[in-house]
Amino acid sequence: MAGEEAANRYAQAVFAIALQNGTVDRWRSDLNDIAAILVESDLAALLADDRVTAARRYEIIDSVLDVPPVARNLAKLLVQKGRSSAARGVAEAFDAIADAYARIAKAEITTAVPIDDNQRLAIEKQLSERLQKTVTATTAVDPSLVGGTIIRVGDQLIDGSVATRLRLLRRELTA
């Protein structure tokens, strides 16, 4: 929880800078690059190791990160504060803040059978109109739904699956 709160604080600070400079999209990319190096690369353990001098860790960051100096400074700050493992959380929190600011919502569409791009686009359009946001969706297939669709947008759930309808009908019949 503390790591998540720290990630949110860093993300909010970076978003303020990005918004002021008109570089939100650039920061999305830069934060993903930072997270890839600090969390997911072979160098992650070395960059988090306090036994390695700070100067040496900063040299590594300078040599492997191809981002503007201000973004490299963020990476160095995360390393200095012992929060390099929070870099992915910072990137995700930044994306969430930027999406909310731009009124973009992400949806997950789960169906019993695969849907094509036209069907996905039609659902995105309906959701965009309903939520008054730009909705982008990913799809997944779950044959246990039997039929219908489950759509999740943030913390909202629209369950139109046959499996849920059957479960509700069974509950009504046994009551």
Taken in order of first residue, the domains within the chain and their CATH numbers are 2-100 (1.10.520.20), 103-174 (3.40.30)
How far is 147 from 150, CA to CA, in rounded Å?
Answer: 10
In the three-class reduction of DSSP (H, G, I as helix; E, B as strand; rest coil), residue 46 is classed as helix
pTM of the model: 0.79
CB 19 within 8 A of CB 101: yes
Dmax (CA) of the chain: 70
- 81-126 residue pLDDT tens: 999 999 999 999 999 999 999 999 999 999 989 999 999 999 999 9
| pLDDT higher than 80, residue 11 | yes
